[in-house]
Amino acid sequence: MDMDEQSDLARLAQTCVTLVAEQMDDRWGTGRLPMLVSVETRARFLKQQKLYHEALMNEDGTAIVAQAHGMLRAWHALDEEAIKLGKSPLPWSAWQITAPTGEVITIIREEADLPLVPKSPGTEVWTAESLVDLVINQELDTRESGRQWPNGKTDNIDWEHGDDIPF
């Protein structure tokens, strides 16, 4: 295998690890999954994570691929153990976002979903309704920047036949 093929394979392996890590954060909450498993499993995960990061830092394509496979197995091992221990992932109605400041914000559809959100120190939980209240109370020019078609007019459109295409 030549260097280009090895580099492509290493990039693909990195992409797979990143996607699985993002899926696990979406499923369990940002950074939460390693904290839900046994100390032994967490230690093995962190050791594998260290090996993976070392391979990345050394830019060693062969090692990146090997350690990426290890990371994929490690993420799935965490997921399986958390389920066996009876831990609950985030409800389907919750989104968790990490702000640029590092703060974790959970957004849920409605107040009734609140008991489904696992408690996590320092995490803020907002309902969709509370976010709407925040948006509505913004200055008009701030809200205008978020509008689709802010200056669009739909009163002259022939909805049955469409518009003339200008080109």
Domain residues of the chain, as ranges?
A: 3-84, 94-144
For position 154, what pLDDT does the model report? Answer: 60
Q: Can you give the pLDDT at residue 116?
A: 86
Predicted structure pTM score: 0.69
Count CB neighbours of 2 within 10 A.
7
Low-confidence ranges of the chain (pLDDT < 50): none
CA proximity to 125, closest of 93, 89, 87, 96:
96
**C-alpha to C-alpha distance for 33 and 87, rounded to whole angstroms:** 9
Residue pLDDT, tens place only, 120-134: 778 889 999 999 988
User: How high is the pLDDT of residue 66?
Assistant: 97
pLDDT value of position 115: 87
Looking up tokens 């920047």 gives: 145
pLDDT of residue 4: 73
CA distances 33 to 43, 51, 60, 98, Å, are 13, 19, 28, 15
